[in-house]
């Protein structure tokens, strides 16, 4: 079961997206940047680990399947977010980024370079589903981060990450199926996919994509015994995906509130913990 404290934290983060302007804030702030295929999300927490601000922006294909394809666009998007936060009174200077597991150190370093180019001091790097596990506060289970381009898996045992993996199937693949079915572009397909009124209609069309995601997860769990799967990422909010996962994998599936916000918040929390010397979960050390 998702802890109530985790869902409460996510709802607080959602409320902070209103970006209410502050006059003064002397305490240090810590940012977590999730450079995703569909969205770039920056979360900000204070020294007490409370969410205080955040920004969500469409990525516009700067990132695809966990890879930075348009570096200039990725930097431009993040710079706008950083400027918006600072103009609202949230002076962020220290940040961390996350990358899909399995995409390689070189790609992870590019994620850090994006932060550096956006005038942020890089505290470190962390794998996306591992960051999500920080928010969920689980000791055992599999965290599955269904992003725009990839499905990432982290297996947690005794509070520690013992295995990570990532494969290229995510929300954009559902968009491609919808686009092909209705002969439209992926931007219009995304609007249909996120329209509650259209979701029952398109569920049978994109169910095979969800089944593929389930097959990916199941293959990586073959050598790892877990009782519960925790789904995060924007695609996890689509009605029916939980039932598909449970049916195909044969395990209990839990989804927190606002699954899109889990990973960026986890990155920010880890950034705070590392900066204050209370965690060693971040890997890497900036752009050096």
Domain with residue 43: its CATH number is: 3.30.420.40
What integer pLDDT is reported at residue 54 of this predicted model? 96
Q: What is the model's pTM?
A: 0.89
Q: Are residues 110 and 21 in the same domain?
A: yes
Let me know if residue 286 belongs to a domain: no
Let me know if residue 17 belongs to a domain: yes
Q: Quick check: 182 and 192 in contact, CB under 8 A?
A: yes
Let me know if residue 147 belongs to a domain: yes
- DSSP 8-state symbol, 166: E
Let me know if residue 283 belongs to a domain: no
Q: Are residues 247 and 153 in the same domain?
A: yes
Highest mean pLDDT among 70-74, 179-183, 281-285: 179-183
Domain of 174, in residue numbers:
133-257
Q: 């209370």: which residue's tokens?
A: 278
- What is the SS3 assignment for 82? helix
Q: Are residues 122 and 149 in the same domain?
A: no
- What is the SS3 assignment for 48? coil
> For the residues 270-276, what does the mean pLDDT come to?
91
Let me know if residue 288 belongs to a domain: no
Q: Are residues 156 and 187 in the same domain?
A: yes
Has residue 248 got a pLDDT over 90?
Answer: yes
Q: Are residues 237 and 271 in the same domain?
A: no
Q: Higher pLDDT residue, 246 or 284? A: 246
Let me know if residue 62 belongs to a domain: yes
Quote the CA–CA distance of 40 and 88 in Å, as a whole number: 19
Q: First and final CA of the chain: distance in angstroms?
A: 40
What pLDDT band is residue 106 in, cutting at 50, 70 and 90?
confident
- Total of domains in the chain: 2
Q: Are residues 119 and 199 in the same domain?
A: no
Give strand pairing partners of 95.
31, 122
What integer pLDDT is reported at residue 19 of this predicted model? 80
- Please choose, from the candidates 39, 41, 98, the residue with its C-alpha nearest in 3D space to the C-alpha of residue 63: 39
Q: Are residues 79 and 156 in the same domain?
A: no
Neighbours of 185 (CB within 10 A): 10
Q: Quick check: 83 and 235 in contact, CB under 8 A?
A: no
Let me know if residue 216 belongs to a domain: yes
Quote the CA–CA distance of 88 and 169 in Å, as a whole number: 36
How does the average pLDDT of the chain come out, rounded? 89
Order the strands of the 252-254 sheet from edge to edge. 160-167, 151-157, 141-146, 228-232, 252-254
Let me know if residue 280 belongs to a domain: no
Q: Are residues 163 and 83 in the same domain?
A: no
Q: Are residues 137 and 175 in the same domain?
A: yes
What pLDDT band is residue 283 in, cutting at 50, 70 and 90?
very low
Q: Are residues 74 and 40 in the same domain?
A: yes
Sequence-ordered list of residues with C-beta below 8 angstroms from that of 206, at least 6 positions apart, any chain = 174, 177, 178, 193, 238
- Ramachandran region of residue 184, left (φ > 0), alpha (ψ -120 to 50) or beta? beta
């Amino acid at each position: 079961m998702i802890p109530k404290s985790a869902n409460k934290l996510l709802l607080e983060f959602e409320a902070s997206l209103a970006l209410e302007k502050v006059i003064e804030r002397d305490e240090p702030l810590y940012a977590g940047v999730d450079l995703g295929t569909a969205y770039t999300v920056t979360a900000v927490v204070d020294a007490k680990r409370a969410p205080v601000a955040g920004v969500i922006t469409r990525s516009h294909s700067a990132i695809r399947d966990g890879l930075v394809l348009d570096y200039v666009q990725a930097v431009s998007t993040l710079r706008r977010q950083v400027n918006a936060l600072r103009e609202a009174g949230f002076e962020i200077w220290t940040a961390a980024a996350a990358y899909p597991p399995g995409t390689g150190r070189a790609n992870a370093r590019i994620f850090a370079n994006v932060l550096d180019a956006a005038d942020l001091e890089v505290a470190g790097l962390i794998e996306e589903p591992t960051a999500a596990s920080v928010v969920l506060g689980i000791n055992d289970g599999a965290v599955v981060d269904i992003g725009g381009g990839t499905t990432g898996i982290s297996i947690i045992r005794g509070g520690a990450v013992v295995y990570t993996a990532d494969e290229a199937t995510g929300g954009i693949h559902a968009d491609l199926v919808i686009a092909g079915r209705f002969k439209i572009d992926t931007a219009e397909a995304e609007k249909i996919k996120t329209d509650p009124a259209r979701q029952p209609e398109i569920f049978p069309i994109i169910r095979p994509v969800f089944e593929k995601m389930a097959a990916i997860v199941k293959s990586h769990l073959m050598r790892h015994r877990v009782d519960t799967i925790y789904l995060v990422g924007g695609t996890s909010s689509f009605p029916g995906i939980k039932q598909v996962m449970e049916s195909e994998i044969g395990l209990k599936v839990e989804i927190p509130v606002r699954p899109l916000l889990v990973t960026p918040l986890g990155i920010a929390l880890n950034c705070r913990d590392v900066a204050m010397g209370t965690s060693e979960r971040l890997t890497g050390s900036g752009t050096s």
